[in-house]
Amino acid sequence: MTDPDGDRTQRWDRVPGLPPVPGARADAPPRRGLWRTLALGAGELLVTAGVVLLLFAVYAVFVTDVVTAQRQDELSEQLREEWDSAPGRGAITRVELGDAFAVLRIPRLGEDYTRVVLEGTEEEQLSQGPGHYTDTAMPGEEGNVAFAGHRVGKGSPFLQLDAMRPGDPVVVETADSWFVYRVLAEDDPSGIPGMQIVRPTALEVISPTPNAAGAAPSGAYLTLTTCHPRYSARQRLVVHARLDGGALSKAQYPDGPDALHENR
């Protein structure tokens, strides 16, 4: 074909297209088998579900830890201001649900390990820090002062509780006093183990005398409980300690007892 300018080279926009294949649609996509389509759809759903679960895990562990750490800073500041404004209040006899009232220090878990303790063990309290079982003794009292805390997430206060050893100090600070408890040995004459793993329904571990439901108090104990194993609520990890001596006045020990400098 010759164009008006006499060029015998045929222009690309004038080249005729190939004839259509009989019975075929020009816009029809490649055909897929039914099973291939289902498999691809299931794969996409699994990938999406995996991403969602990963994001949830990041939130549950890391984001909640940051949020709880900030809340702990706020509670610590509020508690210090409250203590400074009303010194000499004496022993704690009653605490309202949700109130912060003590500071837990465990040298074995870190030189700077401190956690403000709230009254109550519902999620509203445990999302802010360790909680005090409401029907158990107060720090320093005869009986069993029991605290619960999350193992993973929400500040992870008891993440490494399984690292505790017999004789380790657990120090509880209140408005006017320090109380030093020490983790029991496995062969303690009381028969109470320093550490045990139990079912979530084993409430006898927080009895006035640990593991002796219904028995009268036989001493001043402290019990810490958390989930076990990590990332599971199938069981409970429990640590028992006994009061080592009596209350130590903060007026006499403003920087805390010597026990705070152990295990460092």
- Rounded Cα distance between 160 and 262, Å, is 17
**Token reading at 16:** 């005729």
Of the residues 103, 164, 227, 241, only one is catalytic, namely: 227
* Torsions phi, psi for 246 (to 5 deg): -105, -165
Task: Let me know: does 215 contact 141? Beta carbons within 8 Å.
Answer: no
Catalytic residue check, 41:
no
**DSSP annotation string for 173-223:** E-SSEEEEEEEPPTT-TT---SEEEE-TT-GGGGSSSTT-TTPPP-SEEEE
The residue type of 142 is E
Amino acid at 198: V
As annotated, the active-site residues are 227
